[in-house]
């Protein structure tokens, strides 16, 4: 029977003797796990919040009849009920409204027929609703609404109170005639963002009299589907409720995956830290292990001992990380929700939901990372022979022997990475796999590169700084097993900073250039939209006419975006109906036929599609004609050109507005661009126009500059979370360097003592320490430059293209690279301050005796 108790006692004593070393390990695991958990929680909370509010509206719906951009004619509902006699159908009119008294977030207003509702949703009637006034006022009072008491009470609202809602730039007073009391937490969250109205009220409010957004159905037997489909008009289609929800979740899938990959990075950097700490603790205990082996401790016991240590410390770190992740999650959920609202759809996250699975995943990944990183040093410990108490120099000698193999491993792993990046079929996950492979390969290249650089720097340092300049690189080179891991960790973190900075910088400058080319008009008019990048609603025709004829306005262009169904693609696509060219022929084209100068002018003869649509759908160049479902049935359009467009990552189709109006029977215009006469004062015109329409419709009237600024604000908000994640990765790397330096210092105690005894002053010892850390930082910073460039290349030309379908122009600025060097050197120097300070307390006589 093997007894491990004495070994456990030894471990416990060591933990107490060298707590700082192990605290750093725990912190490394904790930060890595925290980042992952916080991103996971935020992604999950946003998607759950959306699912809940969608579920609340979907209820027990199995299928849905969808119309075109203008919705459905309500006659379809009548035919369904009367001609087919189909009872399980409920009409819905819905849209987003703004109600100042209920808070700044857009709220979903759902118009329903309470008599058709019971099979679908049970908020009314079946006891769930505390419907004080009953159905009568709901149906009879003009602009009557019902909402959850959890939404009304915080705003100090009750039955009979008025809520002014803003729809499409116009304000409508509504009255609360009923309050719903959600019975559970899920219902409370689901209803927290909903207002119900009678269908006729909703139609009036949204200006959609006679139209429905969709018809919800419960179809228990799929044999009924063809019967229902037979009575549908040309522009309507029957979809399952699940496929619709799925499509919406798909929209943010790439965005979520990008964030998850970035959060994993901190864990990778954290693994370097764990490896470093465990290796150090093994090397330091070699003599002890030698003695233990002599006394009869088996190899297996030693292996278990090291792994068990890492497991326990990893567990502590992971649990702390999960706690920290929950705290950080509160902040990240805000940033992520903002981006989803800006770019995709309206989602209102009231609280961070904490599913146990996410927490468990965080703990498991943290512990597995800790144990995996400890496996190599544990293996080393196992190989300690009873006869030898291997010295560090021997271990370092082995590292030197390993260098050619590391070079080989670098080549092999890079090749794997390139293959993964090459494989189109692998999609985004393979691309991230390739990115990580290239990054880890670069980390493997660190020891050989550091060895060569240090050999080369020692004579140079000698010439410049004398004996200290010679000693610093030599000590780094001699302690490769320790220093190269710290350098690799720092290099990884900093190269990610460089890569992501170049990507964001290139993205930003591409967007700025694109905005400059595309937005040539001087003044832009649109109703305030629910999401920042999309104009919804319509401008009143009289206002369009008035502003177009405004003195000083020379020319106009109008547009109206909508979602249309493309049967070839099996999904809806954004279609922008445009009249006039807001870019004055300056739009950048990804493809246009030879000999055509400005395809925009040919818009009536076909459609122009965005590059994102081509890349997302894998369309060939030139793209084949595209079929769209119109109000007069499916119509096929030739593709005239492919345009760069960074406003929508699902792809956009541009069509002549008159053609659109004829095919979809939709005359609405939601954005108006005005070109002013030369010399006109744009700001004065904007002020005058704002004054003229005041009180008629709430519209955003912005100058070209203001619109561009708003666009860039949205852009910067989108990347705010990326910056935060970059910073965390550097903090982990900083801890890695600090841990490595402290390890080195402990190992070199006797050497430092001799130096002091031989006449090295404390200041010289500080200088030597900071010189070493500065060099560690500089090497990491220098290596991070090419690696960062490669990462940027992958992010721009592979990840971005596969995630969003956008081609960006890479913009290199010396600042990115200088910044990386500065970050690396400063992080390393800061990490060197504490070890240097500790030197002051060294007792030379004790240090010299240290063995």
Partner 1 sequence: MQKRLPRQIYALWGGAETVPYPSWQTLSSDMPLITLRQLTKTFSEGGQTRTVLDAIDLTVGTGDFVVLLGHSGSGKSTLLNLISGIETPSSGTVEIGGVDITALPDHQRTLFRRDRIGFVFQFFNLIPTLTVLENVTLPQELAGREKTAVSTHALHLLNRVGLADRAHAFPDKLSGGEQQRVAIARAIAHDPMLLLADEPTGNLDEETGQRVLDLLLELTHAAGKTLIMATHNPDIAQLADRVLRVQDGGISNQLSVIGNQ
State whether residue 365 is helix, strand or coil. helix
Q: How far is CA 778 from the centre of its chain?
A: 31
755 touching partner 1, by CB under 8 A: yes
657 touching partner 1, by CB under 8 A: no
Pick the closest to residue 522 from 708, 385, 360 (CA basis): 708
Q: Indicate which single residue of 140, 709, 761, 813 sits in contact with partner 1 (rule: CB under 8 A).
A: 761
- Residue where the block lists tokens 């590292």: 399
Q: One symbol per residue from 451 to 470: x for binding partner 1 (CB under 8 A), - otherwise; what is it?
A: -----------xxxxxxx-x
Residue closer to partner 1 (CB basis): 72 or 836: 836
Q: Indicate which single residue of 478, 482, 560, 616 sits in contact with partner 1 (rule: CB under 8 A).
A: 478
Judged by CB under 8 A, the chain residues 400 through 459 that form the site for partner 1 are none
Please, which residues have CB within 8 angstroms of residue 32's CB and are 6 or more apart in sequence? 266, 267, 268, 269, 270, 271, 321, 366, 369, 732
Residue closer to partner 1 (CB basis): 189 or 482: 482
Tell me 674's DSSP state: E
Strands 144-148 and 170-180 come out as parallel
Cβ atoms of residues 380 and 401 within 8 Å: no
Q: Indicate which single residue of 303, 766, 793, 797 sits in contact with partner 1 (rule: CB under 8 A).
A: 766
d(CA 380, CA 387): 15
| Least distance between partner 1 and beta carbon 12 (Å) | 19
Tell me the window of 70-78, 86-94, 221-229, 839-847 that interacts with partner 1 (CB under 8 A): 839-847
756 touching partner 1, by CB under 8 A: yes
Residue closer to partner 1 (CB basis): 204 or 751: 751
Phi, psi (degrees; rounded to nearest 5) at 25? -60, -45
Q: Indicate which single residue of 538, 760, 801, 825 sits in contact with partner 1 (rule: CB under 8 A).
A: 760
758 touching partner 1, by CB under 8 A: yes
| Least distance between partner 1 and beta carbon 464 (Å) | 5
Cβ atoms of residues 210 and 74 within 8 Å: yes
| Least distance between partner 1 and beta carbon 284 (Å) | 17
| Least distance between partner 1 and beta carbon 750 (Å) | 7
Structure tokens at 68: 């075109």
Residue closer to partner 1 (CB basis): 368 or 465: 465
Tell me the window of 349-357, 730-738, 756-764, 787-795 that interacts with partner 1 (CB under 8 A): 756-764
Q: Phi/psi class of residue 71: alpha, beta or left (left: φ > 0; alpha: ψ in -120 to 50)?
A: left
- Residue where the block lists tokens 């699975």: 357
475 touching partner 1, by CB under 8 A: yes
Report the DSSP beta bridge partners of residue 639: 607
Q: Indicate which single residue of 122, 764, 807, 811 sits in contact with partner 1 (rule: CB under 8 A).
A: 764
Residue closer to partner 1 (CB basis): 64 or 478: 478
Using CA of residue 82, residue 84, residue 85, residue 89, what is the dihedral sign?
negative
Q: One symbol per residue from 725 to 754: x for binding partner 1 (CB under 8 A), - otherwise; what is it?
A: -------------------------xx--x
d(CA 509, CA 816): 14
Number of Cβ within 10 Å of residue 535's Cβ equals 23
Tell me 180's DSSP state: E
Tell me the window of 5-13, 176-184, 530-538, 759-767 that interacts with partner 1 (CB under 8 A): 759-767
d(CA 734, CA 801): 32
Using CA of residue 659, residue 665, residue 667, residue 670, what is the dihedral sign?
negative
| Least distance between partner 1 and beta carbon 298 (Å) | 32
| Least distance between partner 1 and beta carbon 472 (Å) | 9
d(CA 742, CA 284): 12
474 touching partner 1, by CB under 8 A: yes
Q: Indicate which single residue of 767, 784, 795, 828 sits in contact with partner 1 (rule: CB under 8 A).
A: 767
Q: Indicate which single residue of 621, 632, 762, 812 sits in contact with partner 1 (rule: CB under 8 A).
A: 762
Is residue 671 reached through a cis peptide bond, with omega within 30 degrees of 0 on the bond before it?
A: no
Interface positions with partner 1 (CB under 8 A): 393, 462-468, 470-471, 474-475, 478, 750-751, 754-764, 766-767, 843-845, 848-849, 851
């Amino acid at each position: 029977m093997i007894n491990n108790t004495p070994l456990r006692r030894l471990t416990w004593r060591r933990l107490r003797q060298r707590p700082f070393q192990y605290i750093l390990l725990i912190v490394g695991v904790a930060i890595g796990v925290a980042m992952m958990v916080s991103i996971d929680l935020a992604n999950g909370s946003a998607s759950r919040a959306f699912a809940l509010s969608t579920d609340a509206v979907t209820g027990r719906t199995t299928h849905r009849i969808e119309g075109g951009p203008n919705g459905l004619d309500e006659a379809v509902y009548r035919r369904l009920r009367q001609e087919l006699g189909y009872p399980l159908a409920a009409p819905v009119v819905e849209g987003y409204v703004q109600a100042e008294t209920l808070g700044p977030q857009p709220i979903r207003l759902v118009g329903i027929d309470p008599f058709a509702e019971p099979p679908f949703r049970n908020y009314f009637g079946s006891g769930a609703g505390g419907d004080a006034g009953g159905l009568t006022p709901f149906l009879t009072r003009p602009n009557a609404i019902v909402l959850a008491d959890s939404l009304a009470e915080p705003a100090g609202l009750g039955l009979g109170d008025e809520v002014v809602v803003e729809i499409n730039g116009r304000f409508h007073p509504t009255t609360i005639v009923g309050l719903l009391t959600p019975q559970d937490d899920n219902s409370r969250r689901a209803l927290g963002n909903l207002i119900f109205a009678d269908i006729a009220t909703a139609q009036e409010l949204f200006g959609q009299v006679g139209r429905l957004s969709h018809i919800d159905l419960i179809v228990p037997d799929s044999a009924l589907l063809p019967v229902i489909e037979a009575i549908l008009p040309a522009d309507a289609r029957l979809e399952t409720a699940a496929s619709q929800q799925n499509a919406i979740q798909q929209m943010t899938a790439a965005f979520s995956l990008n964030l998850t990959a970035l959060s994993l990075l901190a864990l990778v950097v954290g693994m370097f830290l764990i490896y470093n700490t465990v290796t150090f603790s093994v090397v330091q205990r070699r003599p002890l292990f030698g003695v233990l082996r002599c006394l009869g401790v088996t190899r297996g016991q030693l292996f278990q001992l090291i792994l068990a240590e890492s497991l326990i410390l990893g567990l502590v770190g992971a649990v702390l990380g999960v706690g920290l992740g929950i705290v950080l999650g509160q902040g990240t959920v805000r940033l992520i929700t903002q981006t989803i609202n800006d770019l995709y759809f309206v989602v209102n996250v009231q609280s961070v939901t904490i599913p146990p699975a996410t927490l468990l995943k965080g703990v498991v990944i943290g512990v597995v990372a800790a144990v995996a990183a400890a496996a190599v040093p544990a293996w080393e410990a196992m190989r300690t022979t009873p006869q030898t108490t291997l010295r560090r120099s021997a271990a370092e000698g082995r590292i030197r022997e390993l260098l050619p193999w590391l070079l080989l491993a670098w080549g092999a792993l890079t090749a794997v990475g390139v293959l993964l990046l090459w494989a189109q079929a692998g999609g985004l996950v393979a691309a991230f796999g390739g990115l990580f492979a290239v990054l880890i390969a670069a980390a493997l290249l660190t020891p050989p590169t550091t060895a060569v650089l240090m050999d080369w720097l020692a004579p140079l340092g000698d010439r410049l700084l004398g004996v200290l300049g010679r000693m610093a690189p030599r000590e780094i080179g001699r302690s490769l097993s320790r220093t190269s891991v710290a350098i690799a960790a720092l290099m990884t973190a900093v190269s990610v900073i460089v890569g992501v900075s170049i990507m964001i910088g290139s993205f930003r400058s591409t967007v700025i250039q694109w905005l400059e080319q595309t937005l040539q008009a001087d003044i832009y008019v649109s109703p305030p939209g629910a999401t920042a990048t999309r104009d919804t609603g319509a401008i009143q025709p009289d206002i369009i006419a008035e502003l177009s004829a405004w003195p000083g306005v020379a020319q106009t262009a109008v547009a109206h975006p909508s979602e249309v169904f493309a049967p070839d693609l099996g999904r809806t696509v954004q279609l922008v109906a445009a009249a006039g060219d807001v870019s004055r022929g300056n739009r950048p084209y990804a493809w246009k036929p030879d000999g055509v100068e400005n395809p925009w002018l040919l818009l009536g003869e076909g459609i122009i599609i965005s590059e994102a649509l081509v890349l997302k759908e894998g369309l060939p160049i030139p793209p084949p004609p595209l079929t769209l479902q119109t109000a007069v049935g499916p119509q096929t359009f030739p593709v005239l050109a492919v345009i760069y467009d960074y406003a929508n990552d699902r792809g956009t189709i541009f069509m002549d507005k008159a053609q659109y109006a004829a095919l979809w029977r939709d005359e609405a215009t939601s954005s108006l661009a005005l070109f002013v006469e030369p010399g006109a004062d744009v700001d004065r015109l904007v002020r005058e126009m704002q004054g003229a329409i005041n009180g008629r419709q709430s519209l955003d009237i912005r100058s070209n500059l203001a619109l561009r600024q708003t666009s860039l604000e949205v852009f910067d908000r989108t990347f705010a979370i990326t910056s935060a994640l970059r910073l965390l990765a550097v903090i982990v790397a900083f801890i890695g360097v600090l841990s490595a330096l402290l390890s080195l210092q402990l190992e070199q105690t006797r050497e430092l003592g001799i130096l002091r005894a031989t006449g090295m002053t404390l200041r010289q010892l500080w200088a030597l320490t900071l010189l070493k850390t500065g060099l560690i930082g500089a090497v990491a910073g220098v290596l991070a430059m090419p690696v960062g460039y490669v990462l940027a290349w992958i992010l721009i030309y592979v990840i971005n293209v596969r995630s969003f379908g956008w081609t960006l122009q890479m913009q290199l600025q010396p600042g990115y690279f200088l910044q990386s060097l500065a970050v690396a050197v400063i992080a390393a120097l800061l990490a060197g301050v504490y070890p240097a300070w500790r030197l002051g307390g060294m007792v030379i006589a004790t240090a010299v005796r240290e063995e």
